[in-house]
Amino acid sequence: MDAKAYTEKILTSIRECSPGQTEFYQAATEVFESLVPLLEEEKRYQEHSILERIVLPERTIIFRVTWMDDSNTIRTNLGYRVQFNSTLGPYKGGLRFHPSVNLGIVKFLGFEQIFKNALTNLQIGGGKGGSNFNPKGKSDAEVMRFCQAFMNELHRHIGQTRDVPAGDIGVGAREIGYLFGQYKLLTAHFEGIVTGKGIGWGGSFGRREATGYGSVYFAEHILNQHGDEIKGKRCAVSGAGNVATYTIEKLHSMGAIPISCSDSRGTIHHPKGIDVKTLKAIKEVGRESLAKYAELHPDATYIPLHNYPEGGHAVWTLPCDVAFPSATQNELNFVDAKNLVANGCILVNEGANMPTTPDAYEYLRAHGVLFGPAKAANAGGVAVSQLEMAQNASMQRWSFAEVDTRLFGIMKNIFDTAYATSKEFGDEGNLLMGANIAGFRKVADAMIDEGAV
Ligand code: NDP
Ligand code: 2IT
My answer on whether 316 and 224 are in the same domain is yes
Q: What is the pLDDT of residue 311?
A: 83
Ligand 1 pocket list (CB less than 6 A): 167-170, 172, 211, 239-244, 263-265, 283, 326-328, 351-353, 378, 381
Name which residue sits closest to atom 38 of ligand 1, judged by CA.
168
| Element at 297 (helix H, strand E) | none
Q: What is the CATH number of the domain that holds 63?
A: 3.40.50.10860
CB-based contact 171:97 (threshold 8 Å): yes
Residue 388, in any domain of the structure: no
184 is catalytic: no
My answer on whether 342 and 273 are in the same domain is yes
My answer on whether 121 and 160 are in the same domain is yes
Residue 376, in any domain of the structure: no
My answer on whether 50 and 64 are in the same domain is no
Q: How far is the CA of 367 from the centre of ligand 2 (A)?
A: 31
Q: Domain boundary at 33, 54, 75, which?
A: 54
Active-site residue, from 92, 116, 128, 250: 128
Strands 266-269 and 260-263: antiparallel
Q: Which domain holds residue 109?
A: 59-189
- Chain center to CA of 57: 19
- d(Cα 442, Cα 121) in Å, to the nearest integer? 9
Residue 195, in any domain of the structure: no
Q: What is the pLDDT of residue 69?
A: 98
Residue 122, in any domain of the structure: yes
Determine if residue 202 is left, alpha or beta; phi over 0 gives left, psi from -120 to 50 gives alpha, anything else beta: left
| Element at 322 (helix H, strand E) | strand 322-324
My answer on whether 7 and 123 are in the same domain is no
Query: Which of 237, 264, 283, 356 has the most ligand 1 atoms within 8 A of CB, as the residue to mutate?
Result: 264
Query: Which of 95, 175, 382, 387 has the most ligand 2 atoms within 8 A of CB, as the residue to mutate?
Result: 382
My answer on whether 85 and 140 are in the same domain is yes
Q: What is the pLDDT of residue 306?
A: 77
Residue 400, in any domain of the structure: no
Name which residue sits closest to atom 4 of ligand 2, judged by CA.
94
Residue 385, in any domain of the structure: no
Residue 174, in any domain of the structure: yes
Q: Domain boundary at 347, 368, 389, which?
A: 368
Residue type, position 376, single letter: A
3-state SS of 194-227?
Answer: CCCCCHHHCCCCCHHHHHHHHHHHHHHHHHHHCC
My answer on whether 75 and 33 are in the same domain is no
Q: What is the CATH number of the domain that holds 271?
A: 3.40.50.720
My answer on whether 216 and 363 are in the same domain is yes
Q: What is the pLDDT of residue 307?
A: 73
Residue type, position 396, single letter: Q
Q: How many domains, the chain?
A: 3
- d(Cα 317, Cα 337) in Å, to the nearest integer? 9
My answer on whether 119 and 34 are in the same domain is no
My answer on whether 180 and 285 are in the same domain is no
Q: What is the pLDDT of residue 388?
A: 98
Residue type, position 368, single letter: G
φ, ψ (nearest 5 deg) of residue 285: -90, -55
pLDDT in single tens digits along all 453 residues of the chain: 999 999 999 999 999 999 999 999 999 999 999 999 999 999 999 999 999 999 999 999 999 999 999 999 999 999 999 999 999 999 999 999 999 999 999 999 999 999 999 999 999 999 999 999 999 999 999 999 999 999 999 999 999 999 999 999 999 999 999 999 999 999 999 999 999 999 999 999 999 999 999 999 999 999 999 999 999 999 999 999 999 999 999 999 999 999 999 999 999 999 999 999 999 999 999 999 999 999 999 999 999 987 777 788 999 999 999 999 999 999 999 999 999 999 999 999 999 999 999 999 999 999 999 999 999 999 999 999 999 999 999 999 999 999 999 999 999 999 999 999 999 999 999 999 999 999 999 999 999 999 999
Q: What is the pLDDT of residue 309?
A: 73
My answer on whether 83 and 38 are in the same domain is no
- d(Cα 139, Cα 143) in Å, to the nearest integer? 6
Tell me the whole-structure pTM to 2 decimals: 0.98
Q: Domain boundary at 368, 386, 404, which?
A: 368
My answer on whether 219 and 350 are in the same domain is yes
